[in-house]
Structure 1
C-alpha cells in the first residue's frame, strides 16, 4: 500500500505523488556519481513507497542521470511513474550556454527520449530561460512536441512571473520548478501568486536548503570532492556563521515537535498548499524514508507562524548561486514583436 498521497499538479490533468524524488545528486554536482545498482535500488524503493514523481535533466552528468533513470524504469516500472526531465543548458565540456532555439529544443527532446528509453516524457521543463529570443518561440516548438505525443505536459524552471504569463499564453504551462524552502522565500512575492492565478502547479527544488536543514553547518565536513555546494555563497564561512542560527532555531522547534529538522523544513513546504510538490533529492534509503515521514508532520498555524518569523528575509546571508548561473531574476526575453520585425 502506497504511503504517499497523490495530488493534481497544475490544472492540465497531470497527477503525481505529493512528494517527488530529485535524482540530480545520484549522478552530478554533489560529488562523484553513485553506483548505478545502488541508485536503481533506491529509485525502486521510492516507487514502491509511492514516490513516483521522478525529476532529472539532460545536464545532470551531463546525460548520465537520464541514462540511469532509463535503466531504473525497465521491467514495468515506467507505467508506475511520472517522469520529468529538462532541456535548455548546453554544455560542451568547457562552456555552458542557455539555449531555447526551436531546432535545439527538438534535438534535446529526441536525445532525452533515447537516453531514458521511453516513447514520451510526462513533464518537460525548460531548465533555464534563453533571454536571446522571445519565450513564445521556444514554447511554439514545445507545443508541437506535445501535439506529436513526445511530451505530455510543459514546464518552466527559474522563470519570472512575466515570462510565465507569456509562455502560458502560447501553450498551457503545467508546472513551474523553483527553489522554495525556509531559507529561500523570494518566490512568494510574485511567482507563486502568478502560478496560482493561472492554475500552474509548483515544484519546489532544494526544499531542504541543499541539505542544510538536515545537519546544519556540519554538512560542510561531509561534502565530497567535486561537490559544488562548497562554492555556493551561503555555505562560505562568512555567511555560514550567520546562517547556522536559522538551523539552530529550526532544530529547537523540531525537537519539541518530535521530528528531525529536515522533516520540519520539508513539512513547512508541504503546508504551503496542495498545489506544491517538493522534490527532495537523496542517495540514501534512510533519508528517503525520513523525507516521506515529513508528510505525517502536521503543523499548526502557530507553528507555521513561528517558522516563518525565524525564516524572514534577513535570516539568511549569501545568494543562492555564484556568479554566472542564471535564475528567474534574469529570465526576461525580448518581445515577440521585436523578433518578427
Structure 2
C-alpha cells in the first residue's frame, strides 16, 4: 500500500472519529435542553450531582471495557463483578478489617477474577463471551448465596464517607472517573501497550507475527476490567453504605451500550475513550430524564434495548461506509 493511500486512510479515520464525537455532542445537547425544558427538577444542582455520580458508576468500568472491545473481545460480567466485590468489601469491613487493606483486597479479588476470564480466553481458546457469561452467573449466584439477598451493613467509616461525599463541589466518584479517563486516554493513544490492543483487535494473527504477545494482551485487558469493576464496587459501597448483591444489576448492558454508542467497533480495532465518555453521558442523561418524567421502569428497559440495537446498527453502517470510501468497494 502506498504512503499516500496510508495517509488517506489515517486522515479519513481521524475525520470519521471527529464526526462521530460531534454527532454525540449534538445528541447530548438535544437531550439536555429537551429534558431541561420539559422535566421538572432536571436542571437543579442536586440533579446535576446525581448525573455525575451515575455517570461515574458506568464510566469507571467502561474505560476498561473499551479496551476489551477494541481488542475484539467482550466482557458481560461487569455488573455481578461490581456487586460481588462490593459484598466482599462489606464483609471485610463488618469483620473490622482496616479500610485500606480491605479496599486493596477487593481490588485484588476483581483483578484475579478478571485474570481468570482472560486466561480462559488467551490460553484455552474459550470465547470471551462464554468465559465472562459463566463468570456473570457464578458471581451473581455467589453474591446472593453469601448474603441471603440481604444488604451487608458495616460500621461507619470516615474514608468511605469521603468517597461518598463531594470534593470541591464535585462528587468524589466523578473526580475518580475523570482522573481515570485521562490515564486510559493516555495509555490507549500514547503507549506501545495501547497500540498493541488496537493491533490485536484489528488482526490478532498479524499482531502475533509482528511480535506482539497476544495472549498477554488479552489477559491484561481482562485483569484491568476486573480491577475497574472492583473500584466501581468500592465507590458504590461507599455511596450506599452497605454491600448489596442486587446492586449494579444490568450495569454491564449500560457499559457496553455506552462503549458502542461512543463509536467503538464490536469487531475490534477501532474506538476512543472520548467517544466512550460521550456515550456514558448519553446513557446517563436518558436514564435520568426518564426517571424524572416518571416513565415506567419496565419501559426504560425497552428504551435501553432499542438504544443498544440502534448503536450497533449505526456502528456497522458507519464501518461499511468507511470501507467503501477507502477501498472504493
TM-score w.r.t. length of structure 2: 0.26
Higher strand content, 1 or 2: 1
Q: Which has the higher contact order (CA 8 A, sep 6+)?
A: 2
TM-score w.r.t. length of structure 1: 0.26
